[in-house]
Amino acid sequence: MKTFITSTRLADGRELLYFDESEQQHLEHDERPLEPRKLENTGQIRYDALTSDWVAVAQLRDSRIYLPPADQCPLCPSTAENHSEIPASAYDVAVFENRFPSLGPAVGEAPIARSWGTRGVAYGRCEVVAFSSEHEGSFGTLSPQRARTVLTALAQRTGFLNGLPGIKQVFAFENRGKDIGVTLHHPHGQIYAYPYLTPRAEVMAQAALRYQREHGGILLEHILRSEREAGDRMILEGRHFSAYVPFAAHWPLEVHLTPHRQVADLSELNEEELDELAPFTVDLLHRLDLIYDSPTPYIAAWHQAPLDPELRAVSRLHLQITSPRRAADKLKYLAGSEAAMGAFINDKSPEQIAKTLREAAG
């Protein structure tokens, strides 16, 4: 499927790209009286010596817009009454640099020497991916064609961000629902390019490296093969991808979607794989909404391999979909054990979760 990409700039200098399913002329200009963005306004990262983690301090984000009404949405097409972030009368998919980034806009290296009191510039890049010009919906409500266009955008942006100076990891995700903490109802996702390896990615990459050294294989390949052989947690199996509830699921609703071949990130998927992945992902997310009478909040997280060559060689792309919804009117909150200790307790068995999702096919 051919995608037409158009690049332009917003009034303050941020990059905006359109990903269209048919050739379109995007001749509109951002007419807002915005001050030019300054690279020196990049925030700060601080090193937590107790946990060996980086924490981004992004005070600018405290002033971002919160759940605006539809006529003030910054992701809807611009009108005479609402000059949004997207100065077009219509678009298919749009990607732009976040006006209130957690990281960036300057790029560079995080400090190498680390101890108590270490701080540095919050280098990196944060982008917003608007899935549609329609104000309502989510990835799970997209048509397969539109989902394919979104995935094309995520793959293209992943490849570009991988090449920026100082970037160690690129993460694409969608937050859906007020209970997850979204600040905009408009269907959208985000991409973060980090100047450091995040804690979760570090844990998974080190586990994959240990498995490779001990067994000579790819950990996620072993897990996928084991889940397919067990069968009772499988949800969908295709030619290029399989979806299952993991053996040790942390959340009341959790699904992992894994490619059958060794792929580091979205940018390495071929056309046939993207063609299958689009309806596959829409199907999985749609099932979450069929379980209850109202839309289910979720996080769809694309775990992509770190850029460190040794870790990248043993890590495999996969999508992790999680929801805290444990009943029609109940959410799982991260309380003492989970929030303080990181020790999860799941009230649902993974086999029960898988059965529910298999039966939720629409």
Q: For residue 197, give the H/E element and its range.
A: none
Closest CA to 95 of 73, 65, 124, 125: 125
Question: Which is it for the CA torsion 186, 189, 194, 199, positive or negative?
Answer: positive
Closest CA to 191 of 221, 225, 157, 217: 157
Q: Which two tokens stand for residue 313?
A: 């060689």
Cα–Cα distance measured from residue 202 to residue 155, given in angstroms and rounded to the nearest whole number = 22
Collapsing DSSP states into helix, strand and coil, what is residue 145?
helix
Number of helices (H) and strands (E) in the chain: give both, helices first.
7, 16
Q: Taking the CB of residue 196, how many other CB atoms lie within 10 A of it?
A: 24
CB 77 within 8 A of CB 24: no
- The sheet with strand 4-9 has its strands ordered as 4-9, 15-20, 93-97, 125-130, 188-194, 169-176, 298-303, 318-323, 253-259, 241-244, 234-237
Q: For residue 336, give the H/E element and its range.
A: none
Cα–Cα distance measured from residue 281 to residue 279, given in angstroms and rounded to the nearest whole number = 5
The maximal CA–CA distance of the chain, rounded, in angstroms, is 63
286 is catalytic: no
Q: Taking the CB of residue 330, how many other CB atoms lie within 10 A of it?
A: 11
Q: Which residue among 188, 256, 286, 303 is the active-site one?
A: 188
Spatial CB neighbours of 162, under 8 Å, sequence gap ≥ 6: 170, 265, 267, 307
Cα–Cα distance measured from residue 179 to residue 298, given in angstroms and rounded to the nearest whole number = 9
Cα–Cα distance measured from residue 293 to residue 214, given in angstroms and rounded to the nearest whole number = 47
69 burial (CB, 10 Å; 0-12 / 13-18 / 19+) is exposed
Q: For residue 357, give the H/E element and its range.
A: helix 350-359
Residues labelled catalytic: 188
